[in-house]
Structure formats: C-alpha cells, structure tokens
Amino acid sequence: MIQGERLWQRLMELGEVGKKPSGGVTRLSFTAEERRAKDFVASYMREAGLSVYEDAAGNLIGRKEGANPDAPVVLVGSHLDSVYNGGCFDGPLGVLAGVEVVQAMNEHGVVTHHPIEVVAFTDEEGARFRFGMIGSRAMAGTLPLEALECRDAEGISLAEAMKQAGLDPNRLPQAARKPGTVKAYVELHIEQGRVLEEAGLPVGIVTGIAGLVWVKFTIEGKAEHAGATPMSLRRDPMAAAAQIITVIEEEARRTGTTVGTVGQLHVYPGGINVIPERVEFVLDLRDLKAEVRDQVWNDIASRAETIAKERNVRLTTERLQEMPPVLCSDEVKRAAEAACQKLGYPPFWLPSGAAHDGVQLAPLCPIGMIFVRSQDGVSHSPAEWSTKEDCAAGAEVLYHTVWQLAQRE
C-alpha cells in the first residue's frame, strides 16, 4: 500500500535541512532549521490530504478525519529535532512514515472509524535546553512551568525561544489533550542498537521503554605531585572513580537486562603530573523494570561508599533525572504482531533502551512502538543509517498497525 520510494525521497530531502559539512544534522528546537523542517513536513501533510495545524506547544499535526469525527484519535508520529551532528532517521522516519501511511489510505479510499493524526513533537531530544520531550509533555498535560526557564548555551530561555518562534508560553496548557480523547499512540523509530541486525530482521515490536536514572558522582581527594607522592599515601579520586566505574559494569551485567554507562567524566585540575583533586562523572542506568534498576543502583551505591572509605576520599551523589519505565500496551502490540504476520515478517520482540515521547504519553493513552533495523546499531551520528527497504518495511507494518487500531472495536 505505501510507496517506499516516496517515503525515501522525503527522508533524504528533509535530511538536507540543518546538514553540516561533517554530513551530520543539527536541527534544534525553535530555530530557523526546525522551522524549515516543519514547513517541509507540513507541505507533505497537505499533499497527503491532511488538515494541518500547530498546537500551543508547537507540535505540528496533520489530521485525517474518521467516519466518527468525535471518536478518540489514533496518534502516530515522532519528532523532527536532532542532537548536535546527528543523523537523518532518528525522529523523521516516524513522522514521514506516518504521513505516508495516511497518504496511502487516502489514495486507496480507506476510511477508518477513528480519526488519525500524524504528529511531529516539539523538542524530543532536549539538545538545546537540556530538557527534552517538551511537545509530548505538553500534550499529556505534564510539562512543568519551571521548564520555561531552562536556558540554552546563549542564555536564551525556553519561554523566550517560544516567543521568538511566534508561540505564547502562557497558552501552553491549551496543548493538553483531555483524558479519553486519544485511543492510542504508535511510533515507528530506528532501533538505535544492533539487536535486529544480529537477528537478521528488518522490523521488531517494542515491549516497553526502559526507565532511566542519571546520577552525578563527585569524588574529592587531595591534589599532590605525581612523582613525589608514594602510592601508599595517596588520596586519589581518579583511582576511586575507575574502581567505581568497574563496579557499575559488574552490577549492570549481573541482571542480564540492565545497562549502565558512564559517558561523561571531568578531572580537576587536569594536569598530567598532578594527582587529581576532584573527579566528576555521570552514570546513566536503565532497565525495563524499575525494581531491578533501583536494586542495581542500591548495590552500586553501597559498593561505591565502601571504595570511597577504603581510599579515604569523599563521595557525593546527586540524581539529575529519573524516568519510569513504560510497558507498551497489549492492544498496540497485538496490532503490530498481526501486521507483521500479514506481511510475512516473524514477530520479534525487543525492549527500547532509549527513551521516546511515548514515555510522556503513557498516562494519557496506550502506547506502542515499532523498530526498524539500524545499520551497525549507530545513531546520533552522521553515520546513522537504515536502508530504503527496511524503512519501507517498517512503514508497511505501521500502516497495518494503525489501520487496525483505527477501526471500530
């Protein structure tokens, strides 16, 4: 039903917006690049026969009316913003596949009982203001007002950026959907990992979105001369950090489902010949079960305290962010499973380690996701890639999933 070539051409065209000499895409929220991307997508939506509008949070929405216009809407989509120097599939694939789904329906005269809306959510990544999922939070009615004071690297607040984009921050509550008005949300997304590639499959059905916790570790010791201080007399926070990071790996591996990552580390004062005075790093800990993740954290924290005492350094921890895990709805998973079977793809189940807008929408409606194979598991990079064939396969599964969800029960 869907036209894979049309989907691909739109992906490539949109991928030129915000493209840098490195080949990567930088398309931050409330910027000229994002506005241009929205204009492209709005034109695609109109070509697809959708009525197009933006809500008070800047979410771009295209609506296909249902046989019952008052029935709860089936939402499908993703986001258009990117990380710095990212790829052209993360987010746009879900939006453009959604457009392709409803365009194919309109071209074949398909009428659904429920209305279908394709949505491009505002600022999922959080790259500009270090606070993400703004559009989906606003739609769910959970965006905290203090988020408007988040500032970018130039000191511009979220509220100021919205005003510059022609939006009124005071109207943000108007973006919230009322309970019962959304039947389901389903998103097609690149996997951003290697599980589907290892399985030799183009598409998979997501079981749930892992809950994350970010914890900042600060370890303080004593800065001394690297050559003049015997090993037995040192209070070295870097050595303690290395030991704790090894503990993180050990405890995460122990469960078989948890992932723990330290991707940011700062050493002070940073001299080659100076024992550090202070080391800071941030732990990203995720699992599909909150109780498992929290137990892993407790074990890490306990062992870290022991290491700090043994090495005579001072350890403090600060929770920067916490997000609960969200299980995908049985209704959406069944629809996706039936779609895979109809198209001849073996249903393959996998969790999402990355967070997505569905986490924010879960209190509002049932949610579900479909993954498309990522080449080498690379994402958030200019090397991010999914083939034309895999994107088309994912869009076909999305089509039949959305069609089933949008029918009368």
Cβ(371)–Cβ(189) below 8 Å: yes
Q: What are phi and psi of 72, to 5 degrees?
A: -55, 140
CA distance 42 to 50: 9
For 163-313, where are the E strands, in sequence order?
Answer: 182-190, 203-209, 211-220, 259-268, 278-287
**Helix, strand, coil % in the chain, rounded to nearest 5:** 40, 25, 40
For 50-139, where are the E strands, in sequence order?
Answer: 51-54, 60-64, 73-79, 116-121
Cβ(141)–Cβ(176) below 8 Å: yes
* 376 assigned to a ligand binding site: no
Cβ(397)–Cβ(1) below 8 Å: no
Distances (CA, A) of 241 to 37, 61, 246, 314: 43, 47, 9, 11
* 79 assigned to a ligand binding site: yes
Burial class for 198, CB neighbours closer than 10 Å (0-12, 13-18, 19+): exposed
Cβ(334)–Cβ(234) below 8 Å: no
* 108 assigned to a ligand binding site: no
Cβ(140)–Cβ(364) below 8 Å: yes
Nearest partner of 370 among 247, 191, 135, 201, judged by Cα: 191
List binding-site positions.
Answer: 79, 90, 125, 189, 380
List binding-site positions for Zn(2+).
Answer: 79, 90, 125, 189, 380
